[in-house]
Structure formats: C-alpha cells, structure tokens
Chains A and B, each alone.
Chain A
Amino acid sequence: MSDITTTELVAESPLSEAWAVFRRSGLALFGLGLLLLIIIVSVVGPFIYVVDPFDIIWAPFTEPGVEAIVPLGTDQLGRDILAGLIYGGNATLLVGVSAALITVIIGISIGAMAGFYGGLADNILMRVTEFFQVLPPLLFAMVLVTLFSPSLPIVAIAIGVVSWPATARLARAEFIRIRNLEYVNAARSIGSKNSRIIWRVILPNALPPLIVSSTLSVGIAILFEAGLSFLGLSDPNVMSWGLMIGSGREYILDAWWVVTLPGAMIFLTVLSVSLVGDGLNDAFNPKLRER
C-alpha cells in the first residue's frame, strides 16, 4: 500500500482511513472473515438446511463423518448436531448482539450523564454503577433469570444488565476528557443545548473506544449465555450452543463431539469477535495510525 493512497483516503473520510488501518492487520481481517462466515451460516443456514434441531432423526451417539445424513453426528437423543450448530448459532448470536446493545445503551447513557454533568449527578450515578460492578456478574445474571422465567429475551436482558458498568465507566472517562475541549466550549458558546452537546458533539468523538468495547462485549455476552445454559438457566425450547453443551456435558467421556463441536463454535465466534475488536482498536487509535 503506498503512502499516496493512504493520504488520499484520509482526505476522503475518517472511516475509510480506519478501514485502511484495519485491513493492514491480517489477524483482524481473518477475524472479520470468520465472523461474517459464522453470521451468514447462522442466518442463511436455517433456510438451506431445513432440519428441526430438536428432532430425533438418527441413532443416538452417531459419530461425525459416519452417516451422510448426519454429517456431524448426533447427540445423546439422536438429534442432528449440524442442525443444532446452525440453528443454535442463530440464537447465540442474537443473544450476544442484543445483550451487547443493552450494555451499550445503558452504559453510554449513564456514563455520558455522569461524565458530562459531573458533581452530584456523577457521584450518584457512579455509586449506582459501583453497586452493579461489585456484584458477581454470573451470579447476578442467574438471580435475574431465576426470578423471571428462563427465555431468550430475559437471558439477553440479564446479561446486558450485569455487564454495562464497564462501558459506563469508559463512556464517563471519555466524556470527562472531551467535555472541556475547545470545540465543546465553542458549541457551548454559540448556545447549544446540553442534549445537543452530549449527543451530537461529544458522543461522536467518544465513540471509537466505545465501539471497540461494545464489540468485545458481544463476545463476552456469548460466553455468558453459554455459562447460563451450562447451568441449565436458558430457554430449553430454543437451540443454542450453550444449551447443547449444557445438556451434553454428562456424555463428554463417551461422545466427545456432543460438547466439543458447539464448544468450538463458541470459541471461534468469540475469537473472531475479539480479533475484530482488536483490529478496530488499532484502527481508531490515532497514535497507532501515525506509525
């Protein structure tokens, strides 16, 4: 890549510039490709591979690669593992993304208020944040899921509710850093309303680290979902990777593929999300950009 191209891209838009940095990293590109592949398979797969993942279609504990009809084998009941992986990916990604969205919405709102207004508001909001932060997240999520019935939306909400404090702290730090910069003072001096300053002036400039952290929180949410399912606290009527591991774990010594395959999917997904997150971090970090 020549310097001239880079300069030209910079002139066009900061996003294209970030993309240029992003694609310089092979690992980030690999993560992005993997993630896209997983998303496409989970979203499009159910329309192509039409097998109910709950149906018993073959003998239990069929090994992968033995029967053409169940290429990845069957679990303890004789359910198709491949169908489970495809349909389960759908639910797992859905929970991961919606939980991350909840995290971001709560986290940024609270962090922005605290960072922007400071003083008493900051004090109160940060004490609330600390309250949530000191609770062990998995236990807290278990309590929430237990209180309501374990269904997919509840699981997503529970994960979102327990993981927003980190995002809030990050947002607060960014807002404190930016709120006294010259362009914010300029906006203030021309009489902009606080809400406009928060959402239109500061937030776009605080976004880069927040985008990185929310990308990573998708991965964390997927792990959380798997953890809750493993403990038997997920919707038993929706196939997810965590559910597959949770119900197959007792058979790991007899049939490795029942838990290993969904486990590998979780691993690959979280890995790809993390790689993308790292790539984004590099891309948005101005110091690295100058290197």
Chain B
Amino acid sequence: MKFAKYLLAASLLASTVITGGVAVAQKAGGTVVIGTTQKPRHLNPAVQSGIATAVPGTQIFATPIRFDDKWNPQPYLAESWKTSPDGKSITLNMRKNATFHDGKPITSADVAFSVQTVKDNHPFKTMFAPVTSVETPDAHTAIINFSSPHPAALLAMSSALLPIIPKHVYGDGQDAKKHPANSKPVGSGPYMLEEFKPGEHVILKKNPNYFIKDRPLLDRIIIKNYKDVTSMVLAVDKGEIDMLPFLTGTRNLARLKKNADLTVTNEGYAAVGPLNWLAFNTTNKYFKDKRVRQAIAYAIDRKFIVNALHSGFSKTATGPVVLGSPYGAPDVEAYDLDLDKAKALLDVAGFKADGDGMRFKVELDFIPAFAEMQKTVAEYIKPQLKKVGIIVSLRSSPDFPSWAKRVGGHEFEMSMDIVFNWGDPVIGVHRTYICSNIKKGVIWSNTQSYCNKDVDALLASAGAELDQAKRVDLYQKAQAIIVDEAPQVFLNELPYHTVYSNKIGNAPTSIWGAMAPMDNVFLK
C-alpha cells in the first residue's frame, strides 16, 4: 500500500506541475504596493530625471513609443512612426482615441509642446539637442526634424524620457520646472494620480478611459516610501508589500531569494545600464600617463569584487556600455588580474619602487551611499594597489553633495563612481567621454577630463548612424580605444534586482523595468 501512496503523491505532484505550467488568466482588479526609499520631489518626468519620479511618472504619463524586453520599439501613443530616408526626421502617427486624464484629446500640438519642454528642461541634454522643429500638419501627425540623423530618438521617446504632457495645463507660461501641476500631474497613462504625499506615498488609481482596451488590469498602485532599506526588505519578506524594484544590497537579495513566495530577478535593467567604475582625473600628474591607469586596471581583481564582495549578484563590466545593450563591447581588453604586468607598466611609466616597494601616494574618493558598490570596493582597492606599490588613502565625503562637488569640480585624484547608460549611448555614454563635455562643476559630465579626437569622431558618427550594424561597429571601435586608454577602470554592473510577490503576473521586465507603464501587471 505504501507504493500506492507514493504513486498517488507522484501523480498529484505531476498534476500540480502541469497546471502550474498553464498560463494563469489575466484577472482584473486588486492593488499592488511597491516599496521604495527614493522620494520624488514631484511627478513630472519631463523636467526631472531619476528613478523616484520615473516609476510613478511612467504610470501617469504615456510616451509615443515603448520598448519590449528585446530592445524592439512598440507602438504606444504613436500607432506607427516612420524615419525619413536621410534620418533627419521622424513622423509620428498618433492614436486618435487617446485622451488626457481630464478628458481632453491628445493632439500633435501636445507632442510638439512636450518635445520642446523636455529639450529645454530635462537634464539629459543630448536626447533632443538635434531637434530643430516639430511640425504638426494635422491634429494626429507630428514630424520631428533633426539637424542630423538621430538614431537615439526612438529610445528617447520611451519610458520616462518623453512624457506627453498636456499643453492646455503646462503651456500657461509658468516655469515648467516649478509648475504646480508637476505635483498634480495630468497625463494619459494607465493610472492617474489619486494622492501624492511627498515622503510618504504616491497612490495611483486605474484610468478608466485608457487608450488601450481592457487595460490597465490593476485598480490601484501604491508606491510607498520607506526611510531605510532594512525595514523595506522586512516588509516585502513578510508580504506587506508586493514589489521592490531597484534593490541592490546583495545580502538582502540573498535573504529574499530564500523566500519561496518571492521572485528575485535581474531582468528589467538592460536600458538603465548601471556601471560601477573607478574614475581617474587624467590631468593628475600620475594619471595623465595611460600606462599608470592600465597598471591599476591590471592590479584590480574584478572577479573578487563580483564574487567575494557582491556574492555573485553583480556582473563584471567590460566597458562604457553595459553588455545587455546591443552596443556593448564584449571583446575589449579584459584587464584580467596581473600584478607583474601592473608593476612593469608602472616601471616603464617612470614610477620606480623605493626601498619599501612603494611608488607614489594618491587619494581615492567614493560616493557615501551604495556602500557595497562604493566604500567596500574602495576599501578593497586600497590594499590591492599597495601590492603594486601605490599607497591609496581613502577620502570619505560626509554626504552626496560634498562628493559631487569634489568630483564635479575636478578636485580629486581618483574616485569611485556610479554612472547609468540610460538606454542609448547618446544619452548616457557620450557625456563622460567627449572633449566638449569637460565641464567643471557638472557631475557625471566628463569629470575624467578625458579627451581623444578619434573617440570624439567615432562617437559623433555613431550618434548619427542609422544603419544598426554600422552603429554597433562604430561604438565597439570607440569602446576599444576607451578601454585601452582606461580613463576609468570598469568594475561591475550594479546588481539591480526586482523582488516581487509570486501573486504578481507580468512583472515589469522590459528593458526599462519598473520605469515603464505597468498596464498589463495583474494579481493572480
């Protein structure tokens, strides 16, 4: 009889496995609670970058285009679009049934107004810098003209980057950055604002007149602010909240992975492209020599950083573009750990070791946040570089603005830094390499003061190249030079993960993750 019991158990098990495999029907209704420690100042992504505004902002506002999880552009507010043969204009055919949350229809005039607002106010200047004009031949056609071909434009029209904002609300002549409607936004996305309590929560409710039929599926999304990560992680562990996007702490991730009711995924961050790197001030007397920079790259064991310091949750970075992007460069110099090579390079560069084996002394800055990515790695680099004769002293900054002031003001020797790709290299990568972007006082500009005319030329042509294969090739060439000259040591990609309850269906895993409309997210 024991055997029969086993058989029964086995068949039961098999049947659950089978039913488990069948797709669950997409049910409407319910509330999803999202936890975050980032507090938005307001909810208008047209004039504000960053995760805090982007997550609610992409639910409230719709963009012309959105992207799937394989970097393919999909229709959203624009039913279709066409790039002219010379690449200097994109024609958007807008949906005719779309309305703002206040019931007014969306017209091409709103598109033109939104492009202008973003161009004038958004910190990512390169997104729409080439835009010369937006023509509106009829109410539902918008033609965006560029001074030169602009292949990054499609990505710049997705996620939180080009929210279509109503001209009849924001076009009243007030400064867009301080517009009162930024905190009471009127958009056209799947959810509309119910309540915004800064520092506490953003409550979003279903938009009944959403332009996609039978969507969104949820009744409400609550984005709840937590003061610290630990209590937020405990809350998701206990099932009090349903989703945590942008979680990086590897200890927390390891802990949450053990919870059978939760899914932990690193999908949904391909477009964010978050890089952790060691930046050099290339005007420094030691670091102006590329051999010194290469030596340091050879002296740092990136496998140790990823496996020992980050418990295997992060990924080794190879170059300025993350590998998840179509423009990533996997075949550049990998700088595998080689202390002898590092010492030889330093010798050749003229920095001979003294009696104690020491060569010179430098200061290392780090961002006083994301300790696992910044301070811990800096603490690792200190003894590691001592092995090749470089004495590193850590310089801590009391808060983020003090660090940004030092690094942005070029008052540093080397610094840990975290920089995002933001989808297309034109948006997030060019800024840290082109000569014209060496701007004192601007953080995440070319703070390395790195300048190479060849790289400039390659990036400029890649930024305007319409042929995808050629564009990839140009970016790979540029990255080969950059990685060789090593204005930064590319350490690792941030281990951004989304943790969500298994009750949630269609968790956001497109290239923009939670910074994309969650109109098909549902509760099982």
**A250 in contact with B371 (CB, 8 Å):** yes
Interface-lining segment among B106-114, B169-177, B373-381, B480-488: B373-381
**Neighbour of B372 across the interface among A56, A232, A250, CB < 8 A:** A250
Beta-carbon contacts under 8 Å, A30-53 to B? 52
**B383 in contact with A52 (CB, 8 Å):** yes
**A77 in contact with B376 (CB, 8 Å):** yes
**A56 in contact with B394 (CB, 8 Å):** no
Measured CB to CB, the closest approach of chain B to A50, in angstroms, equals 14
**B393 in contact with A237 (CB, 8 Å):** yes
Alpha-carbon distance A247/B371, docked complex (angstroms)? 8
**A232 in contact with B379 (CB, 8 Å):** no
Number of contacts between A and B (CB, 8 Å)? 58
Where chain B touches its partner, the secondary structure class is helix
Q: Which residues of A contact B309 (CB under 8 A)?
A: 60, 76-77
**Neighbour of B379 across the interface among A146, A149, A236, CB < 8 A:** A236
Any chain A CB within 8 A of the CB of B27? no
Known: A56-B384, A233-B398, A251-B251. A77 touches B393 (CB 8 A): no
Any chain B CB within 8 A of the CB of A68? no
Where chain A touches its partner, the secondary structure class is loop
Any chain A CB within 8 A of the CB of B524? no
Q: Which residues of B contact A79 (CB under 8 A)?
A: 383
**A232 in contact with B255 (CB, 8 Å):** no
Contact flags (1/0) for A231-256 with B, using CB distance below 8 Å? 01100110000000001001101100
**B394 in contact with A253 (CB, 8 Å):** no
Q: Interface residue tally of chain B, by bracket?
A: 20 to 34
- Since A55-B386, A77-B376 are in contact, a sample of 11 more A-B pairs with Cβ atoms closer than 8 Å, ordered by chain A residue number, is A52-B383, A54-B386, A60-B309, A77-B308, A150-B396, A232-B368, A236-B394, A237-B382, A247-B376, A250-B251, A253-B255
Pairs A-B, 8 closest by C-beta atoms = A146-B398, A236-B394, A237-B393, A55-B383, A60-B308, A54-B383, A56-B383, A236-B396
Beta-carbon contacts under 8 Å, B359-414 to A? 368, 371-372, 375-376, 378-380, 382-384, 386, 393-396, 398-399, 402
Any chain A CB within 8 A of the CB of B249? yes
Alpha-carbon distance A247/B396, docked complex (angstroms)? 13
Contact flags (1/0) for A143-179 with B, using CB distance below 8 Å? 0011001100000000000000000000000000000
Q: Which residues of A contact B395 (CB under 8 A)?
A: 149, 236
Q: Which residues of B contact A233 (CB under 8 A)?
A: 396, 398
Q: Which residues of B contact A78 (CB under 8 A)?
A: 308
Chain A residue at minimal CB-CB distance from B391: A237
Contact flags (1/0) for A110-151 with B, using CB distance below 8 Å? 000000000000000000000000000000001001100110
Alpha-carbon distance A236/B381, docked complex (angstroms)? 13
**A253 in contact with B383 (CB, 8 Å):** no
B residues bordering A, Cβ < 8 Å? Answer: 249, 251, 255, 308-309, 368, 371-372, 375-376, 378-380, 382-384, 386, 393-396, 398-399, 402
Contact flags (1/0) for A52-69 with B, using CB distance below 8 Å? 101110011000000000
Q: Which residues of B contact A149 (CB under 8 A)?
A: 395
Alpha-carbon distance A210/B372, docked complex (angstroms)? 44
Alpha-carbon distance A233/B395, docked complex (angstroms)? 11
Measured CB to CB, the closest approach of chain A to B75, in angstroms, equals 44
Q: Which residues of B contact A146 (CB under 8 A)?
A: 398-399, 402
Measured CB to CB, the closest approach of chain A to B386, in angstroms, equals 7
Q: Can you list 20 residue pairs at the A/B interface with Cβ under 8 Å?
A: A54-B382, A54-B383, A55-B386, A56-B380, A56-B384, A77-B308, A77-B376, A77-B379, A77-B380, A146-B398, A149-B395, A150-B398, A233-B396, A236-B375, A236-B378, A236-B394, A237-B393, A247-B375, A247-B379, A254-B251
Measured CB to CB, the closest approach of chain B to A9, in angstroms, equals 52
Q: Which residues of A contact B396 (CB under 8 A)?
A: 150, 232-233, 236
Measured CB to CB, the closest approach of chain A to B252, in angstroms, equals 9
Alpha-carbon distance A146/B372, docked complex (angstroms)? 22
Chain B residue at minimal CB-CB distance from A55: B383
Known: A146-B399, A232-B396, A250-B371. A76 touches B376 (CB 8 A): yes
Q: Which residues of B contact A55 (CB under 8 A)?
A: 383, 386
Alpha-carbon distance A49/B194, docked complex (angstroms)? 64
Q: Which residues of B contact A77 (CB under 8 A)?
A: 308-309, 376, 379-380, 383
Q: Which residues of B contact A232 (CB under 8 A)?
A: 368, 375, 396
Q: Which residues of B contact A236 (CB under 8 A)?
A: 375, 378-379, 394-396
Q: Which residues of B contact A52 (CB under 8 A)?
A: 383, 386
**B249 in contact with A250 (CB, 8 Å):** yes
Alpha-carbon distance A233/B396, docked complex (angstroms)? 8
Alpha-carbon distance A150/B393, docked complex (angstroms)? 12
Measured CB to CB, the closest approach of chain A to B227, in angstroms, equals 15
Chain B residue at minimal CB-CB distance from A149: B395
Chain A residue at minimal CB-CB distance from B364: A236
Alpha-carbon distance A254/B386, docked complex (angstroms)? 28
Q: Which residues of A contact B393 (CB under 8 A)?
A: 237
Q: Which residues of A contact B375 (CB under 8 A)?
A: 232, 236, 247
Measured CB to CB, the closest approach of chain B to A140, in angstroms, equals 14
Alpha-carbon distance A158/B175, docked complex (angstroms)? 44
Measured CB to CB, the closest approach of chain B to A51, in angstroms, equals 11
Q: Which residues of A contact B394 (CB under 8 A)?
A: 236-237
Q: Which residues of A contact B402 (CB under 8 A)?
A: 146
Chain B residue at minimal CB-CB distance from A231: B398
Alpha-carbon distance A146/B403, docked complex (angstroms)? 12
Beta-carbon contacts under 8 Å, A174-232 to B? 232
Beta-carbon contacts under 8 Å, A60-89 to B? 60, 76-79
Chain A residue at minimal CB-CB distance from B378: A236
Q: Which residues of A contact B386 (CB under 8 A)?
A: 52, 54-55
Chain A residue at minimal CB-CB distance from B382: A54
Chain B residue at minimal CB-CB distance from A236: B394
Chain B residue at minimal CB-CB distance from A148: B398
Alpha-carbon distance A52/B356, docked complex (angstroms)? 14
Chain B residue at minimal CB-CB distance from A78: B308
Measured CB to CB, the closest approach of chain B to A262, in angstroms, equals 15
Q: Which residues of A contact B398 (CB under 8 A)?
A: 142, 145-146, 150, 233
Chain A residue at minimal CB-CB distance from B251: A250
Q: Which residues of B contact A59 (CB under 8 A)?
A: 308
**A253 in contact with B251 (CB, 8 Å):** yes
Alpha-carbon distance A232/B398, docked complex (angstroms)? 8
Chain A residue at minimal CB-CB distance from B250: A250
Measured CB to CB, the closest approach of chain B to A38, in angstroms, equals 25
Measured CB to CB, the closest approach of chain A to B313, in angstroms, equals 13
Alpha-carbon distance A142/B402, docked complex (angstroms)? 14
Measured CB to CB, the closest approach of chain B to A52, in angstroms, equals 7
Which of A76, A142, A236, A253 has the most chain B CB atoms closer than 10 A to its own CB? A236
